[in-house]
Amino acid sequence: MAFTLPALPYAFDALEPHIDALTMQIHHGKHHAAYVNNLNNALAGKPEENQSLDEIVRNISKLPMAVRNNGGGHWNHSMFWTLLSPNGGQASDDLTDAIHAAFGSVDTFKEQFNNAGATRFGSGWAWLIVNADKKLAICSTPNQDNPLMDIAEVKGTPILGLDVWEHAYYLKYQNRRPDYIQAFWNIINWNEVNRLFSEATK
């Protein structure tokens, strides 16, 4: 088996009250685990079995839909867990400057990001990316697609992402996706976002 489920870098209840422990248990232990299993099954016997997940995702147009959905699911969730933390610090000066340059203010940035998550119809993700011009941009993707994929409408390197599938919030927030999105701002691991930002802008 090529790919394995990464351990959560904190306890299931670490993000309470913003994300509840049961949601984290099911989201990580059932949903993410299923993406990993289904990805391994979809790749079995294929030459891509030995490629990195990044490589697979970047060339996703050449692969079957099961690899797109489950490879995207594995990539997206593996990143998502590291973007959350009960004590994730704050945005660096460099990142804050880039946010001002791209969006005018931190408030406008948040508003646009929230809007990308709230208006994604059905299931998907909202993203903050560094694009080819090394500038910040906000976008959203359907299902388990992401901005690294060669089929993405808006391409770039994700440095922040939010899962807006109902499985990410329904137990606690039911239909109130905007409340879940608001709560997300309390548990962002800015230390990791800062690191991804400096990697992507090198």
Q: Which stretch binds Mn ion (CB under 5 A): 88-96, 118-126, 157-165, 192-200?
A: 157-165
Torsion, Cα of 82, 53, 2, 189 (10° steps):
0
Q: Which stretch binds Mn ion (CB under 5 A): 40-48, 95-103, 162-170, 190-198?
A: 162-170
3-state SS, residue 158: strand
Asked if residue 192 binds Mn ion (CB under 5 A), the reply is no
At closest approach, how far in Å is the CB of 137 from Mn ion? 22
Cβ atoms of residues 159 and 134 within 8 Å: no
At closest approach, how far in Å is the CB of 22 from Mn ion? 14
In the complex with Mn ion, the residue whose CB is nearer, 96 or 123, is 123
* Interface residue with Mn ion, options 146, 163, 181, 190 (CB under 5 A): 163
At closest approach, how far in Å is the CB of 36 from Mn ion? 12
# chain residues binding Mn ion, by CB under 5 A: 3
At closest approach, how far in Å is the CB of 144 from Mn ion? 8
In the complex with Mn ion, the residue whose CB is nearer, 166 or 179, is 166
Inter-CA distances, 166 with 99, 115, 122, Å: 28, 16, 8
> For helices 93-103 and 106-119, what crossing angle results, to 10°?
70
Residues forming a β-bridge with 140:
126
In the complex with Mn ion, the residue whose CB is nearer, 165 or 197, is 165
Residue 17 preceded by cis peptide, ω within 30: yes
Task: Report the greatest alpha carbon distance in the chain.
Answer: 50
Both tokens assigned to 86: 């009960």
* Interface residue with Mn ion, options 35, 113, 165, 180 (CB under 5 A): 165
In the complex with Mn ion, the residue whose CB is nearer, 73 or 156, is 73
Which of 142, 54, 131, 58 minimizes the C-alpha distance to 98? 131
Calpha distance 61→67 (Å, rounded): 10
At closest approach, how far in Å is the CB of 77 from Mn ion? 6
At closest approach, how far in Å is the CB of 168 from Mn ion? 5
Residue number of the CB closest to Mn ion reads: 163
- Which residues of the chain form contacts with Mn ion (CB under 5 A)? 163, 165, 168
